[in-house]
Amino acid sequence: MKQFDVIVVGGGIIGASILYRLMEKHVGKCLLVEKSEIAGQTTHASAGMVRVFHSDPLLAQMSAETVRFLNQFPQAPYHRTGSVSILSESQARYAEKLAGYLKSARIPTRLMDARQANDSPWGMHFRPKEKVFFESQAGWVEAALLTRRLIAESVRAGATVLENQGNCMLHTEGCEVTGVRTQRRQFGAKLVINAAGPWAEDLLRSLGAPLGVKYKSIQANYYELEQAECLPCFFDYTQKTYGCGRALQNGTQEILVGVALTDTSELPLGEQPISLTDRERAFDLVAQRIPKLDPSKWTRSRRRLDAYSEAKRGNLGLVPGYQGVMAAYGWGGTAVKLSRGIANRAAQIAEDYLQRRSITHSIHRGIPCQTEISLS
């Protein structure tokens, strides 16, 4: 059985980002295992919108790390269109504080009133008393392509990546996870990182200690739109809609518009059809912001489940009650914009765990070891 220091389960944007960061930090010998194709599941369907604004300060900080990374990573297929967040009055007060933090992080932002926003070249409509938070370095990334490029760079750095491995199970000895079994092979590891997205809970269920997630139904509709690439990504917190203009490689320009539906667990994982009623509802809401949106220019729609942790902060950390396994899932549709921040923290947890494990095993074997003691 081949041995690794770390095995990452899941070849989406989170798994790829964690693997890339592990290789940057030289955290031992690493393997990534994906049950199907790299970036072939939820990452493939992601809109890839990236911006910093978030009502949770921790997630805003993690998003800022992703924005900085995408602006510096030369292989990133990143389209810096800017982003607008349409806020309530209470959110606007929070945005003023957030802008101060982002200024210190060298991420430019601007908080505008409705008149200033309506004077912008975006062709969007804003109501009196609304506040608009604009981020010039935000935009959208081709999430599947970014994932594959992160994987390629990790392989060049020495990582092993296996796709199309089928369903994966954890291998345990007592309360310690010692590796993974796929439908084809078995691998040993000092630490397994579960980054399998909506399927992550299935992997942990064999331990009898699943970490809870809930599912939200997300729909997205696509319309042809002239000069769509001039439109920033937008997030309307007043009516829970979002959108993003983009220019495709075939020359078509389109806009993705969508709305978060109700919490549910009834739909199976994967893409599902959208009813005409849901599509019309989403159009009516978004058309209030973008008057030039034409319902006859509709091209396609998709609907799928996103998996979120209960607190919507994701599940990131060592699994309680077990050794050798870490959770890294539960961010749903925000995973792309959080990916670098998640990877930074996951790689640090992995590095610290392996160091502690090495010290513990050295003591058990009676081998003298040195540790730094801080007297501060």
pLDDT exceeds cutoff 60 at 363? no
Provide the pLDDT for residue 375: 28
Q: Which residue has the higher pLDDT, 316 or 361?
A: 316
Predicted confidence band at 199 (pLDDT cuts at 50, 70, 90)?
confident
Provide the pLDDT for residue 376: 24
Sheet bearing 78-79, strands edge to edge: 49-50, 139-141, 78-79
Model's pTM, two decimal places? 0.91
Cite the beta strand spans of 202-322 per DSSP E: 213-224, 233-236, 241-247, 253-263, 298-309, 315-318
pLDDT exceeds cutoff 70 at 369? no
Residues 97-119: tens digit of each pLDDT: 888 888 888 889 999 999 999 99
pLDDT exceeds cutoff 80 at 362? no
Alpha carbon distance 160, 57 (integer Å): 35
Alpha carbon distance 73, 52 (integer Å): 17
Contacts of 44 (CB under 8 A, 6+ apart): 143, 144
The answer to whether the beta carbons of residues 139 and 233 sit under 8 Å apart is yes
Mean pLDDT value of segment 17-31 = 98
Provide the pLDDT for residue 367: 44
Of 1-10, 264-273, 274-283, the poorest mean pLDDT is in 264-273
Residues 55-91: tens digit of each pLDDT: 889 999 999 999 999 999 999 999 999 999 999 888 8
The answer to whether the beta carbons of residues 8 and 15 sit under 8 Å apart is yes
In what helix (H) or strand (E) does residue 194 lie, and over which residues does it extend?
strand 186-194
Q: Which amino acid is it at 184?
A: R
pLDDT exceeds cutoff 60 at 365? no
pLDDT exceeds cutoff 60 at 270? no
Provide the pLDDT for residue 200: 85
Look over the chain and give the mean of its residue pLDDT values, rounded to a whole number.
87
Provide the pLDDT for residue 364: 53
Mean pLDDT value of segment 128-147 = 94
DSSP state at residue 33: E
Mean pLDDT value of segment 291-303 = 91
The rounded Cα 226 to chain-centroid distance in angstroms is 29
Of 315-324, 341-350, 367-376, the poorest mean pLDDT is in 367-376
Predicted confidence band at 266 (pLDDT cuts at 50, 70, 90)?
low
Other beta carbons less than 10 A from residue 109's beta carbon: 22
**End-to-end Cα separation, the chain, in angstroms:** 45
CA distances from 268 to 60, 207, 272, 303 (A): 30, 23, 8, 11
Nearest residue to 221 via CA among 284, 136, 283: 283
Provide the pLDDT for residue 272: 67
Percent of the chain whose pLDDT exceeds 90? 59
Provide the pLDDT for residue 275: 81
Mean pLDDT value of segment 335-340 = 96
Enter the tokens of residue 326. 């870490």
Provide the pLDDT for residue 372: 31
Provide the pLDDT for residue 197: 87
Provide the pLDDT for residue 329: 92
pLDDT exceeds cutoff 50 at 314? yes
Mean pLDDT value of segment 257-263 = 70
Q: Which residue has the higher pLDDT, 200 or 159?
A: 159
Provide the pLDDT for residue 45: 80
Alpha carbon distance 328, 194 (integer Å): 6
Ordered domains of the chain (ranges, CATH) = 1-48+142-211+310-376 (3.50.50.60), 213-309 (3.30.70)
pLDDT exceeds cutoff 90 at 338? yes
